[in-house]
């Protein structure tokens, strides 16, 4: 997720009678709405697939069905139907390789009409804003042997997570924060790691009775979570639910503790 919001993000036109609408003005107005969509998607949803985008195999060819998704930058990926969206398999593919969808870079387009429909590709790894769709396994002759559905559904980032401070928090009924967990030991399905989270930097008891702790995981790889809560801390256990090539060395967990 982007950490910096541009100072001109909310600039838009103030229409007046007789105004000469140049291409710069029209682009400014278009960016105004695009910026709001990007920010809303970034901060409300995790990257993933909303609908469709299923990778299927026919002989030694791959295609992706129509669908929609969000990427990490907040782009709304729309993959139309009709053509079947064939996937170009690399000439010298790794085994396995990944099929993903991505938002096209139209920043240098010079044509009057620009097509911003999502595109699909295959490679050994996925770029930062790519959305993983499938993992493809080959045999010794580079013939497609298996296509594993690797789509991850979009999830909500709500409730919002704000950075905690110690001042007066002992009087509050809810605390929240985030923590990063290494994925080094989460390479295979069923693998688990646990992390201890203190509600306060002082590690003192923050609640008078055991709170309910809810956890959400940010990223494109699915994990199951379990929480053992206490008055001053909780232990969060993260379990990998599928074997997949990791896109990052860490995964971010957001937590909120609420006193019942």
94 and 126 belong to one structural domain: yes
Q: How far apart are the C-alpha atoms of 143 and 135, rounded to whole Å?
A: 14
pLDDT at 165: 52
| In the predicted structure, residue 170 carries a pLDDT above the cut 50 | no
Q: Is residue 36 in some structural domain?
A: no
Q: Is residue 157 in some structural domain?
A: no
pLDDT at 247: 59
98 and 145 belong to one structural domain: yes
The answer to which of 56-60, 132-136, 142-146, 186-190 has the lowest mean pLDDT is: 186-190
Q: What's the pTM value of the predicted model, to 2 decimals?
A: 0.61
- The CATH number covering residue 181 comes to 2.60.40.2080
| In the predicted structure, residue 137 carries a pLDDT above the cut 70 | yes
Q: Please return the burial class of 142, using the count of CB atoms within 10 Å of its CB with bins 0-12, 13-18 and 19+.
A: middle
- The CATH number covering residue 117 comes to 2.60.520
Q: How many domains does the chain contain in total?
A: 2
pLDDT at 66: 94
77 and 141 belong to one structural domain: yes
Domain that residue 95 falls in? 45-149
184 and 248 belong to one structural domain: yes
181 and 138 belong to one structural domain: no
List alpha helices for the chain, DSSP H.
23-44
59 and 100 belong to one structural domain: yes
142 and 236 belong to one structural domain: no
108 and 175 belong to one structural domain: no
Picking from 81, 115, 149, the residue at the C-terminal end of a domain is 149
DSSP structure string for 18-33: T----HHHHHHHHHHH
The DSSP secondary-structure symbol of 170 reads G
Going by C-beta distance under 8 Å and a sequence separation of 6 or more, which residues neighbour residue 257?
Answer: 174, 175, 176, 199, 206, 207, 211, 212, 213, 229, 234
pLDDT in tens, 144-154: 999 999 999 99
More confident residue, 77 or 185: 77
131 and 202 belong to one structural domain: no
């Amino acid at each position: 997720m982007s950490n910096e919001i541009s100072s001109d993000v909310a600039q838009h036109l103030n229409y007046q009678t007789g105004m000469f609408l140049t291409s710069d003005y029209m682009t400014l107005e278009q960016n105004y709405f695009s910026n709001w969509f990007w920010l809303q998607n970034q901060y409300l949803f995790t990257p993933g697939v909303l609908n469709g985008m299923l990778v299927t195999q026919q002989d030694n060819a791959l295609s992706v069905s129509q669908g929609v998704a969000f990427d990490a930058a907040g782009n709304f990926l729309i993959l139309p139907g009709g053509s079947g969206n064939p996937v170009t398999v690399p000439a010298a593919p790794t085994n396995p390789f990944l099929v993903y969808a991505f938002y096209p870079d139209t920043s240098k387009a010079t044509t009057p009409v620009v097509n911003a429909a999502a595109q699909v590709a295959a490679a050994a790894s996925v770029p930062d804003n790519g959305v993983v769709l499938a993992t493809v396994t080959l045999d010794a002759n580079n013939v497609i042997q298996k296509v594993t559905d690797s789509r991850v559904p979009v999830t909500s980032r709500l409730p919002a997570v704000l950075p905690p401070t110690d001042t007066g928090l002992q009087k509050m009924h809810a605390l929240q924060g985030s923590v990063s967990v290494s994925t080094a030991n989460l390479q295979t399905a069923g693998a688990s790691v646990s992390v201890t989270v203190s509600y306060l930097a002082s590690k003192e008891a923050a609640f008078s009775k055991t709170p309910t702790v809810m956890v959400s995981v940010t990223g494109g790889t699915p994990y199951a979570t379990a929480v053992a809560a206490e008055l001053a801390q909780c232990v969060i256990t993260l379990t990998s639910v599928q074997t997949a090539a990791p896109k990052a060395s860490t995964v971010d967990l957001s937590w909120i503790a609420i006193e019942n």
